[in-house]
Structure 1
Amino acid sequence: MLEVSNSQVIFNKRVAETLLQGNHSVTLIMVRPYDKKKPKVDIDPRITVKHVDALVEGIKADDWEKEQAKMIYQDIPMWDSRQRNMMKKMSMAMTGYCEKLVQNKEFLKWMADEKFDVVYTHMYDFCGIGLNHVIGVKAWVWLNSGQMMDWVADQMGVPIIPSYVPPMLMESHSAMNFYERTKSFIGLWLFRAIFPRMVPASETEVFRKHISPDFPDLYELSKQCPLVMVNSNELYEMARPTLHKIVNIGGLGMRFEDAKPLEKNFQTIVDSAKKGVVVFTFGSVTRMELMPEDWKASMMAAFAQFPDYQFILRYEGEDLEQIRPKNVHLSKWLPQSDLLKHPKTRGFISHGGYNSVQEALNSGQPIMTIPLFGDQPRNAKMAQQLGFGVNVRKTGLCTETVVAALKEMLENEKYNNVAKRISGMVKKKPIKPEELLLKWTTFLAEFKI
């Protein structure tokens, strides 16, 4: 897996730790593609962790994040040159780190000598599929840390019906109007025409250059995948066709027990809330301190209109100290799970990342989304369609829209009731994701399907 964010490391750690429960011997290969600080995630010491540096020249993590932040807080069309340049850089980074790994003969020998029974490869790119082919492991799993990626569905033969299954990067849900269905159809057509020529093609050339001129095309090789595991759950995922080899493990490793006691500083804030607490974070990748100044001012002004609620923000900057109202509290780290499960918490403000949406449901909290990029607009629409989320589009973010969304989430009990109902369904689902992961892994290891 790539060490690109805390959320990705946490999901893969949950997979690894679940496999430990089935008495499997687990090795977690963590690849660092650029000079980003290693995520601070505690991993069970029984797991063998193999850190591999595959640093790509010319890519600085801090510069990359700042450039990305400038774009994600704006409304930039996919065909804009800035978007194309960012996609080109991402493709170069994927190909660059892959070439570093393929050239690392010591690493390839180590992988072959380990004689793995089952290999999990991440959905970010196709390099892991090629490496697995090099060492000859037939039993492998294509692991999706969020919803099933469009290219995974397409390669597995899962029907993508554009009239009610929008592309992952499209801001829509299954109930689309004619205009949205047209966009969905065009988006699917463009994806199928363009994507295979990007990362899969360039990474295939890496293997043909360093392993064998006859190395199979990675995009075609991916079709041989025997099993796909998806960090999703049919109880809240958009309705779509599926296949027997698609296994949903959404909610894996998330605990349902009550919140642990809060540290004193957080407990003091919670105790001071007359009506409740609202937790606000944009996740582990997006840097909130790089938000536009008008966003910061609008949010602070909006939060000030809810003096009976205490707002707790994960925020690493210092610039809000002078403008924040008394009911807004900043911290560089949050005990997020324990705060969301606290009985005084009334809502969650998020960018709409899939892990954040799942954590809101796991905690039974309504969510106010401000989607920024990637699959977040689609996730926000999903929460809205299911009835536990309200959505603020970044193009219309101002004090008035934030106030209106907060009033709807906090004062309309519908959102809280739906969130609690779905949370209860997930908690009492007859077959747990941990059981699915363990039984399918054991089955795959035995029969090499």
Structure 2
Amino acid sequence: MKLFLTFLAFILPVECLKILIYQVAVGRSHMSFSGALTDILADAGHEVHLLISEWNPSAKDDCTKRATSIRRIRMPPNGTTISHLAHLADPFKMTVWKYFSSMEQFKIMKDVPSLFCKMIINDDELMKWLREQHFDAALTSMYDLCPFGLFHVTGIKPVIGYVATPIISNVIAALKIDSPASYTPGNRATILFSTSITLIR
């Protein structure tokens, strides 16, 4: 029986896919998640390429050695990155309430994704590479909505979104999907908890 199964393993077709993973370099935990995805797919025999938007220049580790290729998009030295956010600069001093009350913090979170998206779209060499690779699928971190348009323009299908943390409400709204029931507070929430959730939204 073992000989027969071994024989079948050699004659049955194996489909290896060419996969692109787009990751936003926010912090090491985010990179570890996409690195683990890369390793799992590579271990399964797929060819995996990484495209990393370096929102946070201190997130240098790719967290994988199994990617076929790794391309990083970096902001010029005088450009804005999320390393300017107060909770990254001093995480023990900055509270969530101070963070949400700062228009400067919101501006950084609004500007950084669009600046990186413009850099990617205007990079003719990168756009050509994406079209010529003929990827079978793309996986993308859902912290950034740019890759959904990028993959549409370059003809990469299917596109699969993933998150390493609970999905954020602006992503749910942009994709026009219902908020998961587990994210909706029940009727037993305290007044303080309900008020804080309302303020955060």
Q: TM-score scaled by structure 1?
A: 0.35
- Give RMSD over aligned pairs: 3.1
Counterpart position of 1:127: 146
Q: TM-score scaled by structure 2?
A: 0.71
Give the partner amino acid of 2:106. Answer: M
Q: 1:6 to 1:67 in 2, by over 3 A?
A: closer
Q: Distance in 1 between matches of 2:47 and 2:189?
A: 46
Candidates 90, 103, 111, aligned match of 2:130 = 111
Q: 1:61 to 1:125 in 2, by over 3 A?
A: closer
Q: Distance in 1 between matches of 2:162 and 2:136?
A: 16
Counterpart position of 1:93: 112
Q: Distance in 1 between matches of 2:187 and 2:141?
A: 27
| TM-aligned CA deviation for residue 125 of structure 1 | 1.5
Candidates 141, 161, 178, aligned match of 1:158 = 178
Q: 1:9 to 1:186 in 2, by over 3 A?
A: closer
| TM-aligned CA deviation for residue 123 of structure 1 | 1.2
Q: 1:18 to 1:68 in 2, by over 3 A?
A: closer
Q: Distance in 1 between matches of 2:87 and 2:199?
A: 28
Q: 1:59 to 1:156 in 2, by over 3 A?
A: closer
Give the partner amino acid of 2:148. Answer: I
Q: Confirm or deny: 8 A CA contact 1:153 1:160 kept in the other structure.
A: no
What pairs up with 1:192-271 in 2 under 5 angstroms? Answer: none
Q: Distance in 1 between matches of 2:165 and 2:194?
A: 23
| TM-aligned CA deviation for residue 51 of structure 1 | 1.9
Q: Distance in 2 between matches of 1:151 and 1:60?
A: 20
| TM-aligned CA deviation for residue 42 of structure 1 | 4.8
SS in structure 2 at match of 1:26? strand
Counterpart position of 1:27: 49
Counterpart position of 1:178: 191
Q: Distance in 2 between matches of 1:2 and 1:151?
A: 16
Q: Confirm or deny: 8 A CA contact 1:153 1:159 kept in the other structure.
A: yes
Counterpart position of 1:44: 65
Candidates 73, 79, 90, aligned match of 1:58 = 79
Query: Aligned residues: percent identity?
Result: 19
Q: Distance in 1 between matches of 2:72 and 2:93?
A: 32
| TM-aligned CA deviation for residue 114 of structure 1 | 0.8
Q: Confirm or deny: 8 A CA contact 1:54 1:101 kept in the other structure.
A: no
| TM-aligned CA deviation for residue 152 of structure 1 | 3.5
Larger Rg: 1
What pairs up with 1:371-410 in 2 under 5 angstroms? Answer: none
| TM-aligned CA deviation for residue 160 of structure 1 | 5.0
Q: Confirm or deny: 8 A CA contact 2:131 2:154 kept in the other structure.
A: yes
Higher relative contact order (CA 8 A, sep 6+): 2
SS in structure 2 at match of 1:55? coil
| TM-aligned CA deviation for residue 86 of structure 1 | 0.9
Gaps of 5+ in 2: 1-22
Render the CA deviation track for 1:241-276: whole Å, top value 9, x for unaligned: xxxxxxxxxxxxxxxxxxxxxxxxxxxxxxxxxxxx
